[in-house]
Structure 1
Amino acid sequence: MSETEAPAERNWAHWSQPEFVEIDGLRTAYRRRGTGETVLFLHGQHFTRVWLPFYDELANGVDLIVPEHPGYGDTPLPPTLRSFEDYVLHYEAFTRELGLDRVHVVGHGIGGWIAANFAVHHPSRIASLTLMTPRGLRTAAGNGQDPFRLLEHELRAAYFNGREAGFGEYFEQQGGVEDILQREVEGRAQALVSWNPRYDWRLEHRLNRVSAPTLVLGVDDDRYVPGAVAERYAELIDGAVLRTVPGTAGAPSGHMAHVEQPGEAAAPVLAHVAAHPAR
């Protein structure tokens, strides 16, 4: 059973009250808004403990569920987390606990990597799949920058193509040491599953198991994960459609297009979901 419990008072930008559900003993935080087709959004490495404008755009058209991965936000890091298969087991149980038979799955960045694995291992549970600037595959252009070698300001610059100054409110929460410690915990969760290598060669040979209609969203100029990774996903998943979220005002779109351009990023996701109803 799920329940709403108020964490300690929080006043940072875009914070919203989470709900919690016990999954194999792990108190898992999630947020849910909207009506319509149910969409499970698997977040990337940042932007936990907030409700993004992008989520509002999606929730205007669907029943949107945004959980926080084990080790992220208000979901503790379990001692057993070691692989993407552990994330798959968690989310298979999470969707069952919420009474969801088939669900649309959308993932950004490392969340796209998780989403792809979910679709590989449980193809019948996925109504549609959307991968947004996903990580997880190797290409001739590389597999993306090493987040463990970048300073925080370098990471943000790569995310936003040098436009990060306008998005500080999405990173700053408690401030100072508390934010640093939160990033450390979430970085540890990332390292446990993707430190070395930062791709999964097995996934390349498993993506043929994906049977859900798949949309892969790339951007004009991804400085964190090469655009070739999105292209590779589209090549390996049968019938996948590759599209680009275009930039605005003469600026090419970047890795965090869903934060910079929530409406433009949400539109193709909503159209893809609408075209492939779960029932």
Structure 2
Amino acid sequence: MTSQTHSSEPNQPLTITESGSGPAALVLHGGAGPASVNGIAEHLSHTMHVLTPTHPGWDGTPRPPESTTIADLATMYSDLLRNRGLHEVLVVGSSIGGWIAAEMAAQDSDGLLGGLILIDATGVWFDDHPITDFFALDARGIAEHSYHDPDRFHQDPATIPPSQSAVRQANMATLRQYAGDPYMHDPQLLTRLADVSIPTLLLWGASDKIVTPAYGAAYAAAFGNAHLEIIGKAGHLPHLEQPDATFARIDAHLSKAANAS
């Protein structure tokens, strides 16, 4: 049995969904919004207490004017864990959520984090494999770059209710605020990860055309204790296209990390 509550943290403009019980996990969504990581949160909630925040500015939530960068979000979530007295927390991040998680790990000097799972994370840059300019894509282009099977996930904008379309446009404006300049990366991030020694799993869709698997390999090499798993027949959101394969790899990683501790 799991229960869910929505709460705003004192002194922080955070809306959080909580479920399950056990060791703490923080699940961070990407530009697609909190609904895109519901499956991950539900899977982990069978054995963990899962916190799934909505990043400030997404889905109509307030964004304080001083919160403008991915580092700001990372600091906010680190403060959340610290204020709740949580340590050794598993942090799972998809897309920019993975970037936030990596930044949290780079900032962590208090043992707040006990493990990382980054899923097709942005945050770094290679001139030979530039991150696709997501903001320049139309709906069909987004589907073709994000999914192994774009026809399964493409939505004709004409069929989306105006209220839902407005939310999506506002989410993209918020994404641009946090990750638009420099585009989708921090030039210093990779060099700051060498001292991060907590168990880290990089999961990457083989067909991701937003951030190719080369980015997963670079992340894996940058961390002190990491490995990369490629998921076939999946793109930028493997937990949506191949949930069983994604969750099996997560479970195996967590089991291995527990046995090693």
TM-score tier (shorter):
0.7 to 0.9
Shift of 1:141: 3.5
2:176 is equivalent to residue 195 of structure 1: no
| Residue 234 of structure 2 corresponds to residue 253 of structure 1 | yes
Pair 1:160–1:38, CA change in 2 (3 A): same
2:18 is matched with 32
Q: SS at the partner of 1:106?
A: strand
The residue that corresponds to 1:208 in the other structure is 194
Specify whether residues 157 and 188 from structure 1 end up closer, same or farther in structure 2 by C-alpha distance, changes over 3 A only. Answer: same
1:155/1:119 CA distance change after superposition, 3 Å: same
Which runs of no fewer than 5 residues in structure 1 stay unpaired? Answer: 1-15
Partner of 2:124: 137
Contact 1:37 1:63 in 2 (8 A): yes
For residue 143 of structure 2, what is the aligned residue in structure 1? Answer: 156
State the alpha-carbon separation in 2 of the partners of residues 23 and 231 from structure 1.
39
Matched, 1:108 2:89: no
Comparing 214-223 and 51-60, the one that deviates more:
51-60
Q: Distance in 1 between matches of 2:154 and 2:140?
A: 12
CA distance in 2, matches of 1:37, 1:270: 14
- Structure 1 stretch 257-266 or stretch 267-276: which is displaced more? 267-276
1:38 CA drift (Å): 1.6
Identical residues among aligned pairs (%)? 28
Q: What corresponds to 2:63 in structure 1?
A: 77
- Letter of the 1:255 partner, please give it: H
Aligned to 2:252: 271
Contact 1:23 1:93 in 2 (8 A): no
Check 1:229–1:23 CA distance in 2 against 1; reply closer, same or farther (3 A cut): farther
Name the Cα RMSD after superposition.
2.7
1:219, 1:254 within 8 Å by CA — same for their partners in 2? yes
Report which structure shows greater RCO (CA 8 Å, sep ≥6): 1
Which residue among 74, 77, 88 is the counterpart of 1:91? 77
Residue pair 1:132, 1:216 contacting (<8 A) in 2 also: yes
Asked if 1:44 corresponds to 2:23, the answer is: no
Per the alignment, residue 237 of structure 1 pairs with: 223
Structure 1's 51 and 200: CA in aligned 2 closer, same or farther, altered over 3 A?
closer
1:12 alignment partner in structure 2:
none
Distance change in 2, residues 1:127/1:197 (3 Å): same
How many angstroms apart in 2 are the aligned matches of 1:273 and 1:185?
A: 36
Structure 2 distance, partners of 1:161, 1:265, is: 14
TM-score computed with the length of structure 1 as normaliser: 0.81
